[in-house]
A and B are shown apart, each in its own frame.
Chain A
């Protein structure tokens, strides 16, 4: 009965456009009521689970991303990257890939990365007669690096749900992230050569040093976040708070992209952005409570064992499921809906949760690019003033590259597991 109620109610409410938190919450409460669970214990579990040091890294990273989006930091990174690779044919596209890669190492949000980089780079690319769909595709695909290259909001949420080490997950994203950037960069160079996109003017020696020195404060952010965590100086949460703090200082005093009057509204904005995720986490905890209480997790594990499912069956199923959910929902909703059911299967199937985390994150990158609901697509449509269909056309080659990346990460677990093992043992 539980499964029928779950599917029917969940699908019905979702189709009616109920907020995700309500869909999950109403479904979970109904199911718990059917199983006779005391409701006060459910609420108690919510507040106890929210009492998590790791979870509060999320609002801190969101705050950091909110300040970084304001332009100054992104502009400095782009100027520096232009001085490195601008002279290559299609150099501005490559600047976008490199800029997104570095920006991704500061903030954990793909949409913030695409927004910050796209706002500056897309007009530049269009001025250099890049095809509009290509400009949109490069920014969209490079922006997805935001959740693969550490730090990553998606990995923080995954770490909390899977009870897995967030620093380990962050490290696991480094190699796939660099590979993905290389794949996108390679395609940019090929396409730029084919279409004859221009080179930018050579940077004089004086300008080279000027823009790189100006970018030093921006470069300090990934050093603080990653250096702090892996140098054993800070926890993930402390690194996130430091990152937000330094982002404020740099934005105010170095790049002057915000004033004192912006501080409180921006903090409130960050708190509300976090609230939109946190309220789903609250009800997902209730949903997870039902998955455990009802014995559903055990039933799924038994089913998997009885049918002798192999790892590749599981990965294929997960990819199809996440791709499907990702077409209609945004990243955190997909994670919070799917993971409580999927995570109990990792043990019986002998899958490393860190490896699985990378598979999930790359799937979520695809979700950001797949219509009809792909947040990066919307950001790009608004920046490029292009119809959504043109943006989708531009992202198709990059989505195929991401698919290839997903296959590689599934087939070669060492891509995800090697670096965490080397660094953390």
Chain B
């Protein structure tokens, strides 16, 4: 979601004046705005991803707070599954968020050398990084899927009393990898369509 709260505090390098800490748009990170069905699909994907990850993270916080409070009021009624379930929820929230940072090109990187490259060479590196990212995400997604599938096939359950089906938790990794693969592909295509540009590249996202 193109929220005005998203910041990239690492928004300058190499002795240049730093622009205002922005949002989801470090200088040069945002590709030219396009209209049409692809842009609309991007917007909705972004909104859904942000809503899912935000909702899950907020829900996990509420669950932990509820558990802590109930534990001190009536320990017998405190949910015993919170520790375990919270991990699953938070990992889903965070891994789903990986798609958004890929689309917005907010992955942390050292881009110092890129700034002394010619526009063309930088363009090649940018495209190469996204193609490699696409391939790596597919790799991660495929093996992540195999792990989740095996857990489903063998009915792997967590070793706690909850006996949680582990494929649900394991599924976060291939889903995140798929979202990242789509993100890298989308960025690579957009770069190829726009060609080399005399602009700084995306910068590290702060955390």
Contacts and interface: CB of A to CB of B under 8 A. Distances in A.
Interface of A: 14-23, 25-26, 29, 39-40, 42-44, 46-47, 50-53, 56, 59-60, 62-63, 66, 70, 109, 111, 115, 153, 233-234, 237-238, 241-242, 244-245, 262-280, 282, 328-330, 332-333, 371-373, 375, 377-379, 381-382, 386-389
A277 B94 CA distance: 9
B: contact size bracket: 35 or more
B107 A52 contact: no
B178 interface: no
A241 B61 contact: yes
B107 A63 contact: no
Nearest to A46: B173
A contact face: mostly helix, strand, loop, or mixed: helix
B9 A375 contact: yes
B56 to A, nearest CB: 7
A268 B3 contact: yes
Q: Which residue, B11, B18, B49, has most C-beta atoms of chain A within 10 A?
A: B18
15 contacts: A17-B129, A47-B170, A50-B91, A53-B83, A111-B207, A242-B64, A242-B65, A245-B62, A264-B55, A268-B53, A271-B50, A276-B106, A277-B207, A328-B110, A329-B108
Interface string B20-53: 1100000000000000000000000000011101
Given A17-B201, A388-B18, A274 B107 contact: no
A382 B107 contact: no
B51 A40 contact: no
Contacts of B83: 53, 237
Nearest to B108: A20
Nearest to B69: A242
Contacts of A51: 87, 91, 169
Contact of A329 (B110, B132, B172): B110
B86 A237 contact: yes
B12 A381 contact: yes
Given A56-B91, A264-B54, A17 B110 contact: yes
A265 B54 contact: yes
B206 A375 contact: yes
Contact of A22 (B111, B133, B170): B133
Nearest to A29: B139
B163 to A, nearest CB: 15
B129 A16 contact: yes
B129 A371 contact: no
Contact of A17 (B6, B18, B114): B114
A267 B205 CA distance: 16
Contacts of A265: 1, 3-5, 50, 54
A59 B94 contact: yes
Contacts of B126: 17
A158 to B, nearest CB: 15
Given A51-B169, A378-B10, A389-B15, A270 B57 contact: yes
Given A40-B147, A60-B60, A111-B206, 7 more contacts: A15-B113, A19-B129, A56-B91, A270-B57, A271-B93, A275-B97, A388-B15
Nearest to A56: B90
Contacts of A244: 61
Contacts of A271: 50, 53-54, 56-57, 93-94, 96-97
B68 A238 contact: yes
B75 interface: no
B57 A63 contact: yes
Q: Which residue, A15, A19, A44, has most C-beta atoms of chain B within 10 A?
A: A19
Contacts of A277: 207
A26 B50 contact: no
B183 to A, nearest CB: 11
Contacts of A379: 9, 18, 21, 206
B70 interface: no
